[in-house]
Amino acid sequence: MTGRTAASRTGLLWWVLRAQWAWGLLLLALLTEVSRAAILATGAAFLAGGILDRAGAQRAGLHRLTVPFVALAVAASAADLFLGSGDFLFAVSVLVLGVQSVKFMLPKNPRDGWQLCAISFLEFLAAAGTTTEIQFAAFSVVYLGLSAGGMWALQAWQGEEEGDAARTVRPRFAAKLLLLTTAGGILLTAVLFAATPRIGMGQILRRLGRADGITGFSDTISLREVTAVKADRRVVARVEFPAMPPGASPLSFLLRGASYPRFDGTAWKRTWGGRQRVLRSGFHYLVSPLPRNTRLFTAEITLEAMDNPALFVYGNPVQLEGSLGEIWEDAAGSLSLSQPGHTALRYRLQYSTEPSGGPMDRTPATPLDQELPPGSDDIRELAARVTAGGASDAEKAELALRHFRTGYRYTVTHPASSIREFLFSSRAGFCEHYATALALLLRASGIPARVAAGYLGGEWSDVGKYLIVRQSDAHAWTEARIGGKWVTLDATPPLGEGSPFFARTGTVGMYLDWARQRWNKYVVDYSLKMQAETVSEGWAAFRRARTGILRAFSPGGDFRKPFWLAAILPPAVFLLILLRRMLRPSSVRERDALRARGESRPPRPYARLLRRLAARGRRPSSGTTLEEMLLLAAREKPPMAGGISRFLALYHRDRFGANPLSSTEFREASRLANRLGREISRPGAS
């Protein structure tokens, strides 16, 4: 291995190039479901190969094992495809990781470096195509920075192999180039993101994932089912309310999942009989006929992955919009997806707050809604005493609710072990006890009733203006058939901040949650309709701005109204000046700078050459000129004479001529100055 090749094993660029290779592997490990065994094997090969690269080991023996290693990777990929996961993309990733491991272990030349960078880029694309995590944004920024450094390292490495030292890059030029590239990349990305038609790719990406869903409500709810869920603080849903009922607080909204009509004395069970498919047209679902003279409200719900098919809604749902597949409605008016569980979903719900007109009211009460468990005579007697004096079902329901307002207490430390204990002795329990007891009292009074489960309220985010619903907001309540309508009744006392499950997220947590919510909404779940709305809103904002500017500059206009004008114009003017300066020829900028300062110092490439000559002892006195030093170097190294002659001609014209050099001539002078400096600085140039 030559001395120049050995030099490629030192310095910052060597580490940057290896970091770029490793970062693609890290993206696969953290953001995808690629085989962990394959990733660990590739990581071990990367570490071993890096150590051998630093030592300069030839590794002739490893070359003979290349074909067996690749054959092993092909066999592992085929085994995963036909006997393991059965996922083609998953199997291909195993094969790519195997080839990458072989490349890591063997000695490398610049061509191998380019190939490893290409594999790393494929890993980056794989992570981008399968992840929906906001962390990918930070990972991608680091990866792109490492890629720029890796390209620089490969260019320098290739130059060393070809016998040419790496070119020196001016820090100011590099900073400007990075600034322009970043700004241009962000602008181009924004334009493409807004202009490219979308269909809600987040739904497709999530279906390719294998993330486990949140364990929520099942088909059966016991007296401890909901409270067991409340011990979990994970986020279930994030809800925005573009149109909210006037004067309403989202903290009091019930996000309904399902109703449970069958009670066997210990648990409530959901029935699946009488299901029917919800009418669908593309991404739109008509749950209920559009009610006349009824105002509809809107909620945009992002529901996290769950292991049950329940579709959560507010009020009386009328329409749904989203990529949800088939939706089914059971006899109790509960909505569910066709699959047992689902990945994360985003859908827009239109609902009414009227107590009638929803899917629940289209089906009458069934015998299950009036059935009491065997041996319920004591419950019937209690119901008769509690509802005595009620002339209608509504009055009886109100009296039953009042019964739980006094003498009962909410507790999670010493709850009743059965519904009879709750009603007749301890009178202590949580929401399942209250919902069950009220439903049984209503049934004993001849009023059809059942238990419903879902989530109550949540935590309002002032940062993002949306509701955060967590598992700890799980709740159970009662639904009763009164006056031909299903009415929601909640006997559980309101706890608020006194709840044992109450906790605040905090300012930092709210900002982090807001960032995740915006990522999911505007990146992962960005749909065609949202795109059209964004373009429409942007055009409307432009028209409003144009009208405001025209009014401000019209006779009698008020400059205080477009106050944002003062914040926008100065940065815009500054950027225009900066771009103008950056786009001007380098020779003009150098000459203008010299004339402005009244200095005779040569431009930057020439000054750099002077410093290199001085470092080699070519400047015995302060009066020695650049021309004298170069002529002395030409006498000592005749092969440099031609380049020195051309450089001096350009130098004299640029410094003392009437007109500056053209951009092409100035770049030629700069290249000659750099080359002469390298040749003079090489060992043996004395």
Where exactly are the structural domains of the chain?
Answer: 3-160, 220-516, 586-681
pTM: 0.60
Tell me what pLDDT residue 427 has.
92
Are 285 and 319 in contact by the 8 Å Cβ rule? The answer is yes
Tell me what pLDDT residue 386 has.
92
∠ Cα 329 333 335 (to 5°) = 45
State how far Cα 514 lies from the chain centre: 11
Tell me what pLDDT residue 240 has.
92
Structural element, H or E, at residue 545: helix 528-553
Among candidate residues 430, 290, 428, the one with its CA nearest the CA of residue 351: 290
428-429 vs 409-410, strand pairing mode: parallel
CA distance 39 to 35: 6
Indicate the DSSP class of residue 109. -
Walking along the chain (686 residues) 10 residues at a time, the average pLDDT comes out as 40 84 86 81 89 80 75 81 72 83 85 88 77 72 81 78 54 63 64 54 46 64 78 88 86 90 88 82 84 84 85 90 86 83 83 68 77 90 90 92 91 87 91 93 93 91 90 91 89 79 80 82 66 66 70 57 55 66 50 47 62 63 68 76 81 73 77 77 53
Q: What are phi and psi of 298, to 5 degrees?
A: -125, 140
Q: What are phi and psi of 363, to 5 degrees?
A: -115, 135
Question: Which residues is 223 bridged to in the sheet?
Answer: none
Amino acid at 346: R
Q: Which string of DSSP letters, residue by residue, matches 6-41? A: HHTTSSHHHHHHHHHHHHHHHHHHHHS---HHHHHH
CA distance 516 to 258: 28
359 C-beta neighbours (distance < 10 Å), count: 21
CA distance 648 to 566: 50
Among candidate residues 359, 346, 352, the one with its CA nearest the CA of residue 315: 352
User: With b meaning 16 or more CB within 10 Å and e meaning fewer, what string describes 119-143?
Assistant: bbebbbebbbebbbbbebeebeeeb
560: its two tokens: 């205080």
Q: Which string of DSSP letters, residue by residue, matches 213-253? A: PB----SEEETTHHHHHHT---EEEEEEEEE--TT--GGG-
633: its two tokens: 């170097």
Tell me what pLDDT residue 572 has.
67
Indicate the DSSP class of residue 496. G
Tell me what pLDDT residue 528 has.
59
Tell me what pLDDT residue 191 has.
63
